[in-house]
Amino acid sequence: MKSSPNTELFNLAAESVAYENTVVLKNITLQIDRGEKVALVGPSGAGKTTLLRRLYNSVADRSAYVDQHYALVHQLSAFHNIYTGRLDRYSTFHNLLNLIKPQKQELQEITPILGELGMEEKIFEKVGSMSGGQQQRVAVARAIYRGEDILLADEPISSVDPHQAGTVMEIIIENTETVVVSLHAVEFALKFARRIVGLSDGEIEFDLPTKEVTQTMLTELYRNGKPF
Amino acid sequence: MLKTSLFFVAIALIALLLADLEVSTLHPWTELSRMAWGALTPDVPSLWNLKLALLNTVVFAFCGIFLAVILGIGLAFAFHFTPVRLFCAFVRAIHEIFWAFIFLPIVGLNPTCGVLAIAIPYAGIFAKVYAEIIQESDRRPLEGVPRASGGLSRFVYGILPIIYADAKHYTGYRFECALRSSAILGFIGLPTLGFHLETAFREGIYSEAWALLYAFYILIASLRYWLTPRLVPLYIAASFVLLSRTITVSWANIVRFFTYDLLPWPMRREGVLDGTREISFAWEPIVSWASEIFVHEAWEGIWNTVVLTQIVLVGTGVFALLSFPFACRHFSGKIASRISHYALIVIRTTPEYILAYILVQLWGPSMLPAVWAILLHNGAILGFLCSNNADLVQLRIDAPGRRIDRYLFEILPRVYGQFLAFLFYRWEVMMRESAILGILGIYTLGFYIDSAISDDQIDKAILLILITVLLNMGIDSVSQFVRRRLKISTKLVTSL
């Protein structure tokens, strides 16, 4: 896959990541360009989260990240959690104002995002009292509201009901220019991503346009994963 | 855990043999019956004349706590720097009354002195506890906050909401403590409740003394009805307005204190004698001045403080272990456990200093009143905590029916680790109390500090306070070492 340097966003060349002597990523070479929609697939422990975090660290200030554990403040409402996505864009005074009383403009911006995710009526509800799927959708909403060109999402539909997962994926893919998303559910990767990177045991097994990924490759990928 | 416990019990038994525990008053029981009669006939109308003292007690506490919270939050964020941590440990180790002694020559005997005496040590406490709460809170949500957001925005969206409940709860508890501190500051002459309490007890007007004590209990018991987050800013503002009329700060005094009064006597001696107030400096006389104090006063003070502390450490534990079953649902009926519960709250609410003062009136100055005062106050705190924790334990359906079996095999093993952790956590507090009770005539460090203050020897008092601080910080690190070695923490394991 060739591209001109000015559209190149990520470029890892034979990189390894290790924590306390445990190698998590081995010799990863990966290049992602502006406008790509990439899915990372692979069994648990393959290194998907580590790879996403590695990518995020290089573009932290101009990207949004959906944490696999949502990273929400349970004591605050959905509105406030979503507003958090843009804290760095407003003055401290404006942030305090919104904390005390949600402002009209922010409400007008945040309500439709929650609406698309089917949670408009939950806007003032405390996140701590929501179900896992609802919390996850708030985490996605926060990333969308942040409105950056790059979105990195770690298992963003793992807890969402099957009948809503498609909608959530669509919102993730369509709202942002460049998307890298790790997915456990292979069928969603095949349906929404345009490029699929298969990871297993810290190594890239394959990196292909979605059309070229076969069922055999996927079965093989998951069979090579760590035994249970 | 058992070995460590027995080790400390053995030390306490030896200390008990060495301690002076005699009753020196001639008619302790007559006095007690008069006191008891006073408890039954509180002079409520007299409270009207003392309303200002009650108001002052609350106002000092509000202003002190407010300043302490602001300083504490600031320090909490710098708590990972060792100098800050040591500074906080240092200011915490000095009791409020000793702080008042220090501020006395600087600002005079007025409300500013009282407020600062509460604010400074509490700031050190808040810094430590807030830092711990932040450290133990869920840090993941902060990762969801954009990194480039301003510090305050990150704090109010990513940290404050998570720690708010814990921090609020702890600050509320500390406000109750500040009311106690504020009350006992009256004993050294500040215009709070303690001032009138001391007068009433000293002159034997027990009905008035009890009316004041009852008013204090009601004040604390009613906290949850009037101390609501919405009204707190109002209270604080009103308190500062009330105080602002009396705030006096004299720079000349502050400068004089730090550049003159504080200096060891040998440095000032010649200047005082020839009237020039000049300062001279020579190592030898200063060292001999310090060693003189150490040999003649500090050593005995340290010895008695440590002996008293070791006795009350174990005494507190025994009291807590014996008292908590009475307040626990697994051992007592509904009504009995409620009554015991409230009894523990009342004992805990009474400041140990006031308890000790009353007991000294009864038995005369020896370690006996100090032992009981510290033991009752801390034992009730610990007993209350243990009973709450024991209540959380879900007993299996076929748990032993006999209470003693249930206590020894089901409940005690589950709460003992946390009990021990809390006991050692309060070790340092008990030592601070042991030192301070010297003011009542027991030969602990406080006795010598109080005498130095009465003789206007600020340099000596400061030296002795520094010794007390070092002793305290030493005990604190021993306590941390013991807790870490036993792998016990103040957090409870309820399911198992």
Supply the DSSP string of A65-98, one letter for each residue: EE-TT----TTSBHHHHHHGGGGGGS-HHHHHHH
pLDDT of the residue at B247:
67
Least Cα separation, residue B151 to chain A (angstroms): 9
Complex ipTM value? 0.72
Under the banding of pLDDT at 50, 70 and 90, the label for residue B305 is: very high
Q: Mutate which of B157, B160, B164 to test chain A, going by most A C-beta atoms within 10 A?
A: B157
Of B144, B150, B165, the CB nearest to A67: B144
Let me know whether B70 and B97 are in one domain.
yes
Let me know whether B84 and B21 are in one domain.
no
Read off the pLDDT of residues B52-70 as tens digits, 9 standing for 90 and up: 899 999 999 999 999 999 9
User: Residue A137 domain-assigned?
Assistant: yes
The rounded distance, in Å, linking the Cα atoms of B433 and B424 is 15
CB B312 within 8 A of CB B11: no
**Mean pLDDT for the stretch of residues B207-218:** 93
Residue after which a domain boundary falls, among B205, B228, B261: B261
Counted domains in chain A: 1
Residues of A in contact with B143 (CB under 8 A): 65, 67, 71
**Mean pLDDT for the stretch of residues B83-91:** 93
Residues of B in contact with A71 (CB under 8 A): 140-144
Nearest to A199 by CA among A27, A70, A1: A27
User: Residue B79 domain-assigned?
Assistant: yes
Indicate yes or no: CB of B146 within 8 angstroms of CB of A95. no
pLDDT of the residue at A2:
47
Indicate yes or no: CB of A61 within 8 angstroms of CB of B147. yes
**Mean pLDDT for the stretch of residues B151-166:** 89
Domain that holds residue B14: 1-41+284-496
Partner B, chain A 146-165, Cβ-Cβ below 8 Å: 146
Let me know whether B330 and B435 are in one domain.
yes
Q: Mutate which of A87, A92, A95, A144 to test chain B, going by most B C-beta atoms within 10 A?
A: A87
Tell me if chain B has a CB within 8 Å of the CB of A61: yes
User: For residue B108, is pLDDT > 60?
Assistant: yes
Read off the pLDDT of residues B237-289 as tens digits, 9 standing for 90 and up: 999 998 877 666 777 778 888 777 778 888 887 777 777 777 777 788 888 88
Residues 6+ apart with CB under 8 A from B436: B95, B97, B98, B353, B446
User: Residue B479 domain-assigned?
Assistant: yes
Percentage of chain B surpassing pLDDT 90? 51
Burial class (CB within 10 angstroms; exposed 0-12, middle 13-18, buried 19+) of A92: middle
Least Cα separation, residue B129 to chain A (angstroms): 20
CB B79 within 8 A of CB B127: yes
Residues of A in contact with B153 (CB under 8 A): 87-88, 90, 92, 95-96
Q: What are phi and psi of B44, to 5 degrees?
A: -65, -45
Residues of B in contact with A81 (CB under 8 A): 144
Indicate yes or no: CB of A88 within 8 angstroms of CB of B164. no
Let me know whether B93 and B229 are in one domain.
yes
pLDDT of the residue at B496:
30
Domain that holds residue A123: 5-223
3-state helix, strand, coil in chain A (%, to 5): 45, 25, 30
Read off the pLDDT of residues B411-466 as tens digits, 9 standing for 90 and up: 888 888 889 989 998 999 999 999 999 999 889 999 999 999 888 888 999 999 99
User: Residue B207 domain-assigned?
Assistant: yes
pLDDT of the residue at A22:
77
pLDDT of the residue at A5:
55
CATH of residue B247: 1.10.3720.10
Let me know whether B36 and B58 are in one domain.
no
Under the banding of pLDDT at 50, 70 and 90, the label for residue B491 is: low
Q: Say how many CB pairs under 8 Å bridge A and B.
A: 77
CB B267 within 8 A of CB B286: yes
Tell me if chain B has a CB within 8 Å of the CB of A1: no
The rounded distance, in Å, linking the Cα atoms of B468 and B487 is 28
> How would you classify the pairing of strands A178-182 and A37-41?
parallel
CB B435 within 8 A of CB B468: yes
Least Cα separation, residue A162 to chain B (angstroms): 25
Let me know whether B389 and B404 are in one domain.
yes
Q: Between vectors from CA A146 to CA A144 and to CA A151, what angle results, nearest 5°?
A: 60
Helices B299-323 and B458-486 meet at what angle, rounded to 10?
40
Indicate yes or no: CB of B157 within 8 angstroms of CB of A99. yes
**Mean pLDDT for the stretch of residues B1-16:** 89
Helices B2-18 and B299-323 meet at what angle, rounded to 10?
130
Q: Mutate which of A77, A83, A88, A138 to test chain B, going by most B C-beta atoms within 10 A?
A: A88
**Mean pLDDT for the stretch of residues B391-420:** 82
Q: Mutate which of B149, B153, B154, B230 to test chain A, going by most A C-beta atoms within 10 A?
A: B153
HSE of B118, CA atoms in CB hemisphere, 13 A: 30
Counted domains in chain B: 2
Of A61, A84, A89, the CB nearest to B157: A84
Least Cα separation, residue B156 to chain A (angstroms): 8
User: Residue A114 domain-assigned?
Assistant: yes
Q: Three-class SS string for chain B?
A: CHHHHHHHHHHHHHHHHHCCCCCCCCCHHHHHHHHHHHHHCCCCCHHHHCHHHHHHHHHHHHHHHHHHHHHHHHHHCCCCCHHHHHHHHHHHHCCHHHHHHHHHHHHCCCHHHHHHHHHHHHHHHHHHHHHHHHHHCCCHHHHCCCCCCCHHHHHHHHHHHHHHHHHHHHHHHHHHHHHHHHHHHHHHCCCCHHHHHHHHHHCCCHHHHHHHHHHHHHHHHCHHHHCCCCCHHHHHHHHHHHHHCCCCCCHHHHHHHHHHHCCCHHHHHHHHHCCCCCCCCCHHHHHHHHHHHHHHHHHHHHHHHHHHHHHHHHHHHHHHHHHHHHHCCCCCCHHHHHHHHHHHHHHHHCCHHHHHHHHHHHHCCCHHHHHHHHHHHHHHHHHHHHHHHHHHCCCCCCCCCCHHHHHHHHHHHHHHHHHHHHHHHCHHHHHHHHHHHHHHCCCCHHHHHHHHHHCCCHHHHHHHHHHHHHHHHHHHHHHHHHHHHHCCCCCCCCCC
Let me know whether B403 and B419 are in one domain.
yes
User: For residue B376, is pLDDT > 70?
Assistant: yes
Give pLDDT tens digits along chain A (228 positions). Answer: 444 556 888 999 988 888 777 778 988 999 999 999 999 999 888 899 999 999 998 888 889 999 998 888 888 899 999 999 888 889 888 988 998 899 999 999 999 999 999 999 999 999 989 999 999 999 999 999 999 999 999 999 999 998 899 999 999 999 899 999 999 888 999 999 999 999 998 999 999 999 999 988 988 888 865 443
Let me know whether B29 and B64 are in one domain.
no
Q: Mutate which of B145, B163, B166 to test chain A, going by most A C-beta atoms within 10 A?
A: B145
Let me know whether B244 and B108 are in one domain.
yes
Residues of A in contact with B230 (CB under 8 A): none
User: For residue B495, is pLDDT > 90?
Assistant: no
Percentage of chain B surpassing pLDDT 70? 98
Partner B, chain A 74-93, Cβ-Cβ below 8 Å: 74-76, 80-81, 83-92
User: Residue A109 domain-assigned?
Assistant: yes
Q: What are phi and psi of A73, to 5 degrees?
A: -95, 105
Under the banding of pLDDT at 50, 70 and 90, the label for residue B50 is: confident
Partner B, chain A 127-146, Cβ-Cβ below 8 Å: 139, 142, 146
Residue after which a domain boundary falls, among B228, B261, B294: B261
pTM of the shown model: 0.80
Let me know whether B329 and B340 are in one domain.
yes
pLDDT of the residue at A228:
39
Of B149, B156, B161, the CB nearest to A96: B156
**Mean pLDDT for the stretch of residues B335-339:** 91
**Mean pLDDT for the stretch of residues B179-185:** 95
Let me know whether B188 and B309 are in one domain.
no
The rounded distance, in Å, linking the Cα atoms of B65 and B181 is 11
**Mean pLDDT for the stretch of residues B298-326:** 95
User: Residue A228 domain-assigned?
Assistant: no
User: Residue B273 domain-assigned?
Assistant: no
User: For residue A54, what is the enclosing H or E element?
Assistant: helix A48-58
User: Residue B108 domain-assigned?
Assistant: yes
Let me know whether B221 and B364 are in one domain.
no
CATH of residue A64: 3.40.50.300
Least Cα separation, residue B163 to chain A (angstroms): 9
Q: Name beta bridge partners: A200.
A: A203
Indicate yes or no: CB of A74 within 8 angstroms of CB of B162. yes
